[in-house]
Structure 1
């Protein structure tokens, strides 16, 4: 994470997101090809949401997960000037889905009120 508005005087170009998901086998089997395609279609996601998104399941072998974590850390831990950047880890918990949905609804309403 870096504050490009303050550091560079511009809006962010995108957000880089890596998701490591624990997908139970029964859910993985129930997913339709289109569901998976949407999750791995990085050009579509970037065009529509300004997010570079990469998804991996925790069912990958431990060695693979370690390699992936090291790779993403090396890709995004520094700016091109070698200055350190930060990471934000967000744990998604189904128990908080309703609260998160309520907060998003309130924020959307605030934005709409600001625009009117």
Structure 2
């Protein structure tokens, strides 16, 4: 499922244009990491943020966090360059992940900490990152993120993306970004 183009308000629509209003063709739009990168790598600033996201994912993969999914949102998914005349500062990501076999949240916390320290992650990767452990998710937590991300701060309804956490597409996405980056050179 591709991510629809921005609507007239500069946001990804929450329901695919032309889809049934009560149908399932809606946000979060499930796409591969490559599709996501291709859709949103539109400027050098966005390229830097996408590279940070892929490096964050590589770090998670290196400690065995490879199963789950990521919800991706924030001004990164908006046409912020037109609506506010600025590039996005970062990308907002909630990672819903299964811990590696044999690990508990308590035993794995020291290993996971570098990826849940929001200030450090944002400074290092340009990703405002939250981690939620599966299957121990509280449905109210999921509802919180869905309702928060399905609306802008001004109340406008909008959509967001979902990518699988598995590393199967990360190299392809990184290669795509390398090709796109050559288009940003003077």
Moved >4 Å (runs of 4+): 29-32
Are 2:147 and 1:74 aligned?
Answer: yes
Q: Cα offset for 1:13?
A: 2.1
How many residues end up aligned between the 2 structures? 108
Q: Cα offset for 1:20?
A: 0.6
Structure number with bigger Rg: 1
Q: Please, which runs of 5 or more residues in structure 2 have no aligned partner?
A: 1-76
Normalising by the residue count of structure 1, what TM-score does the alignment of the two structures yield?
A: 0.74
Q: How far apart, in 2, do the equivalents of 1:106 and 1:24 lie? A: 29
Q: Cα offset for 1:78?
A: 1.4
Structure with more helix by fraction: 1
Counterpart for residue 25 of structure 2:
none
Are 2:163 and 1:90 aligned?
Answer: yes
Are 2:122 and 1:46 aligned?
Answer: yes
Normalising by the residue count of structure 2, what TM-score does the alignment of the two structures yield?
A: 0.49
Q: 1:110 to 1:79 in 2, by over 3 A?
A: closer
